[in-house]
Structure 1
């Protein structure tokens, strides 16, 4: 995958304390960009920033709080003068229950992070990018942005909606020099899978024709390409990185 351009830019990555978010921060930092690693888990984000050096700043951000999101973007503009790239990666899995049994509070909790949080981030990111006349956003969806999954009504609904929101916003802002795309990872080797049983892990592997799960760095490579000027004609798209899962 081609790298992002050499010229340093300012990037915000949410859900940056581990897994895919941390891998994206690492690649952007290695390419010389200024990275704001945001997460509700501030110690985790600080550990990522410390491991990557001076180009990365950790901030605490609860994406379900629109006022906090607005303040975060404002602080980035005040400190750096601009926001060139954003990756809306913060997300949670939620309970595994059939739709008729799904608790209302859990439904709202999952949508608050996985859908409303992305909307809040996009809203204020787009305002900042519109003022400067340029920018690129990647929203982290999932293979479940185009597939169903038993027991995950809230997560699947949020990720499908995220893909649609991405496409609508891309149409609205394309003429203003702003590109917005979505990435749909398959099952990736992250801390979220650390607690599953060996037979469950093997079953997940079996769903991927590649015969393995993905790596965070593979998702980061695609994400950074979409943020780069090398992807300047890619807009409003949903890109899978799933080892063939969705081709079945």
Structure 2
């Protein structure tokens, strides 16, 4: 188990949902936590109420120039930054045949896919020359790996594209780092009871069991266990493995029919 005593963690999207649960769990394990979020007042409230009161930084990660000053301020707070959870994310429901790829969709790509890697670049910059080895956990999704059965009628194709992109970019980031500066991990949650779900289902007891939705605290517990184990892929639900199977089987069948096996 990683000892976070005396270490500093930055959580983007830390004012609610998975980010808030990560902030609480890390603080409970001894970390000094920086809560970054576009929701400034909520971020301040979360930071102030952690077991070890933290620092809140307002930040809009849809802005390409937001990451560098965020990482510098977080690092300068205690003179170190041991863990960054690039967790901020937004969704969008639109049929692919109707998707206009306008400003709203492009903002989602900025926040979900580009921001984690701008954060990674800024993190590498502040780690360079320091005596701190970093750890970066990017929040992807079960949608990073497949088109999950549970969401097939929710019209989140563009959102799924951002999360597919996160995974391959994280794999390339790990490759390009070559073991230097930081370790990289990808958290891939299935259904988690975040404000995105709560807005439509205010009472978690009303969620259909087949949706297999877990609470943010359980997601955070799995995430930290994945970090403890040094895992690159950190899935949160058993069905994620099953959901990958149709794609794998489809490729294998195509290879067979093409005479390439």
What's the TM-score, normalizing by structure 1? 0.86
> How far did 1:46 drift?
0.9
The equivalent of 1:102 in structure 2 is 99
> How far did 1:156 drift?
0.5
Runs of 4+ in structure 1 off by over 4 angstroms are 201-204
The equivalent of 1:219 in structure 2 is 219
> How far did 1:72 drift?
1.4
The equivalent of 2:171 in structure 1 is 167
Structure 1: tracts of 5 or more residues without a match: none
What's the TM-score, normalizing by structure 2? 0.82
1:7 aligns with 2:5: yes
Work out which of the residue numbers 126, 140, 154 in structure 1 matches 2:158: 154
Distance 1:157 1:6, change over 3 A: closer
The equivalent of 2:45 in structure 1 is 47
Q: Do the aligned residues in 2 keep the contact of 1:163 with 1:182 (CA within 8 Å)? A: yes
* Secondary structure of 1:109's aligned partner: helix
The equivalent of 2:139 in structure 1 is 140
Distance 1:6 1:61, change over 3 A: closer
> How far did 1:59 drift?
0.8
Aligned length: 235
What does residue range 167-206 of structure 1 map to in structure 2 within 5 Å?
A: 167-196=171-200, 205-206=209-210
* Secondary structure of 1:17's aligned partner: coil
* Residues in 2 aligned to 1:135 and 1:203: alpha-carbon distance in whole angstroms: 38
Relative CO higher for 1 or 2, CA cutoff 8 Å, sep ≥ 6?
1
What does residue range 103-118 of structure 1 map to in structure 2 within 5 Å?
A: 103-105=100-102, 106-118=104-116
Q: Deviations over 1:143-195 (max 9, x none)?
A: 11112245112110000110111111112224315110101111111222123
Q: Do the aligned residues in 2 keep the contact of 1:63 with 1:120 (CA within 8 Å)? A: no
Distance 1:103 1:218, change over 3 A: same
Q: Do the aligned residues in 2 keep the contact of 1:33 with 1:55 (CA within 8 Å)? A: no
* Residues in 1 aligned to 2:166 and 2:56: alpha-carbon distance in whole angstroms: 25
Bigger Cα Rg:
2
